[in-house]
Structure 1
């Protein structure tokens, strides 16, 4: 998701992955699954199939770990600030973990071809020996919108051609 934020010195974009549910929504769904699983496991245990209960617990634990890891991954964000002289990219989750500042005049955006037809191209900000990935979690439409916006701001776009396909799928 690409959001334009107000900024006094230039343009600021907030890049985040698409999130269908908040943390509370994920927990509520997980609790519904827990309730249904407990009802079924209890019925099976009362019918004599008590071996189902530990496996139901393992299933719920695996689901909880998956929901937690996915929710943590969806909290990533990148803030791209563009002013007359610099491009600043900040990455993190709840706080800034890393930051890069590149000169607008000499920086360029490389678009590496997608791995398959439904994937977005990989974006990399480049200045001399500095290569920083940009918006790796964006979908195809958001990536295209970001590229169009950066191109309209005068950033040089390098479109790398895909490697020739030998036609073999194995």
Structure 2
């Protein structure tokens, strides 16, 4: 998702993955699964199949770990700030973990062609020989929208030539 933020120093965009459910929502889903699993486990345990208990625990642990991992991946964000003389890119999860700062005149966009028709182009911010991948979590439509937004800020777009890899790609 591309979101324009209010900023006094310039123009700022926040890029985040699409999230259909919040962390509290995921916890409620997991608790619902735990209640249903608990009811089934109690039934089978009363029937004498007590070996179901550890497997139900493993199942709930695996589902919880998967939900946590997915929520963590969806909590990523990238913030691009276009100031009068510089461009700042910040990446992180809960806080800024990485930051790049370049003069505005030296920043360009590099587009790698999609490796397959179902995939999207990879967008890179380039400056002074440094290439930083940008918003690899966006879908193809949002990726094209991001390129349009970056072009509206005066950045030049360069497309890398497609490499022939094999028969299908």
What range describes the TM-score normalised by the shorter chain of this pair? Answer: over 0.9
Q: How much does 1:120 deviate? A: 2.0
Q: Distance in 2 between matches of 1:168 and 1:5?
A: 41
Q: Distance in 2 between matches of 1:14 and 1:35?
A: 38
**2:7 paired with 1:39:** no
Q: How much does 1:105 deviate? A: 1.4
1:86: which partner in 2? 86
TM-score, scaled to structure 1: 0.92
Tell me which moved more, 67-76 or 21-30: 67-76
Q: How much does 1:165 deviate? A: 4.8
Q: How much does 1:123 deviate? A: 1.2
Task: Write out per-residue CA displacement over residues 82-138 of structure 1, whole angstroms, 9 at most, x where no aligned residue.
Answer: 123211101111211111011221211111122332222111111123221111111
| Structure 1 residue ranges without an equivalent (≥5) | none
Q: Distance in 2 between matches of 1:110 and 1:123?
A: 6
Q: Distance in 1 between matches of 2:159 and 2:31?
A: 47
Detail structure 1 runs of 4+ shifted over 6 Å in the superposition.
Answer: none
Q: How much does 1:159 deviate? A: 1.4
Residue correspondence of structure 1 range 70-109 to structure 2 within 5 A = 70-109=70-109
| Structure 2 residue ranges without an equivalent (≥5) | none
CA root-mean-square deviation: 1.5
1:136: which partner in 2? 136
SS of the residue corresponding to residue 88 of structure 2 reads strand
TM-score, scaled to structure 2: 0.93
